[in-house]
Amino acid sequence: MGKNRTPYLLLLPGFGFLFTFFILPIINLAQTSTQTKIAGGDTGQYEQTLHFRNYIDAFVENKDQFGRSFLFATISTLLALAIAYPLAYAIAFKSGKYKNLLLVLVVAPFFTSFLLRTIAWKQILGEEGFVVPTLRSLGIISQSTTLTSTSFAVVMGMTYNFLPFMTLPLFASIDRIDPRTLEASGDLYANGYTTFRKVTLPLSMPGVVAGTLLTFIPAAGDYVNASILGDPTTKMIGNVIESRFFKIVDYPTAAALSFTLMAAILILVTLYIRKAGTEELV
């Protein structure tokens, strides 16, 4: 008897928490998304009119920011993958006794605030930082080019901030690969490149999928990087939602945008997992 009830009792705190702080707010948000202004009412006064047009209006009005969000998120996810894969591989296979130290270093940035680190990037990419003068003297960028308040800075900031979320699942997955299977591949006439393509990469796919999702999903909804490192022309959908909620006090549009973003991410993620799950992405 007692045994049968235990799992439910264990579930109770989690379920209660999620119900109060996730399910209820989501329902509330869904209700808000179809409200309209009360005629003659004050700012921030809305009534439920099941006005589903809110969704279409919100999307049409902000489709550029939507597009930019997914574009930036995609680019920074790919960049993070390109940086994190060799890093995770080296930590898993080549670091010997330094493995744990290197893993600590990967998560070390979390010891300082996300905001601080992003503001630091503003300094790094600023006129007085070392990056801009170096690139200018090497002739890679022109004397008048600046890096702050650009899409470049936003994407770099996002790549940097989400890198650990990419690295850790990749490491976990690569670390589990039996190095003897790589030796076996070499033994069976596969050179280094073929071994990577046919053995290492497929075996690390769970890490690639987890890492890209953990990077892409928060990146698509991110607004901190765009607001600190960007300018009005680099606004992402997160910035729009933020300003609709807190500045313009247009709750219905903000709620509709939130749901649209959620739906778009869900669809993309589902398609991606289908693709990654049913065939090797190579």
Partner 1 sequence: MAKASIDARGDLRLTRLTKTYGDFTAVDDLSLTIQKGSFFALLGPSGCGKTTTLRMIAGLEEPTAGSIHLGETDITTTKPYQRPINTVFQNYALFPHLTIFENIAFGLRRRGQKDVKEAVEKVLNLVELPHLAQRKPTQLSGGQQQRIALARAIVNRPALLLLDEPLGALDLKLRRQMQIELKWIQKEVGLTFVHVTHDQEEAMTMADTIAVMNEGQIEQMGSPADLYDNPETAYVANFLGQSNLIKGTISGNDGDSLVVDLYGQKISLPKSRSHAVDNSTYAGIRPEKFRISLLETPVRGNVLSGGRIEDVSYIGVSTQYQVEMPWGQELMVFEQNDDGVAPFNKGDAVNISWEPTFTFALRGDEDVTAGSEVQPEDLDEE
Tokens of 79: 């960049």
The only residue of 26, 105, 184, 271 in contact with partner 1, by rule CB under 8 A? 184
Residue 198 sits in the site that holds partner 1 (CB under 8 A): yes
- Please report whether residue 181 would count as binding partner 1 according to CB under 8 A: yes
Q: Indicate whether 189 belongs to the interface with partner 1 (CB under 8 A).
A: yes
Q: How many CB atoms lie within 10 A of CB 264?
A: 16
Which residue do the tokens 């976990």 mark? 172
Is 199 a residue that touches partner 1 (CB under 8 A)?
A: yes
Least CB distance to partner 1 at residue 188 (A): 4
> Which among 203, 155, 172, 201 has a CA at the least distance from the CA of 107?
172
Is the CB of 11 or the CB of 184 nearer to partner 1?
Answer: 184
Reference 74, options 265, 270, 278; nearest CA is: 265
Look at the block and give the residue holding tokens 């070390």: 108
Map residues 242-281 to x or -, x wherever contact with partner 1 holds by CB under 8 A: --------------------------------------x-
- Cβ closest to partner 1, residue 3 vs residue 180: 180
- Options 203, 249, 269, 276; binder of partner 1; rule CB under 8 A: 203
Question: Which ranges of 126-236 does DSSP label H, i.e. alpha helix?
Answer: 131-137, 151-175, 179-187, 192-195, 201-221, 224-229
Question: With binding defined as CB under 8 A, does residue 186 bind partner 1?
Answer: yes
Lookup result for tokens 């280094």: 192
Residue ranges that bind partner 1, judged by CB under 8 A: 178, 180-181, 183-191, 194, 198-199, 202-203, 280
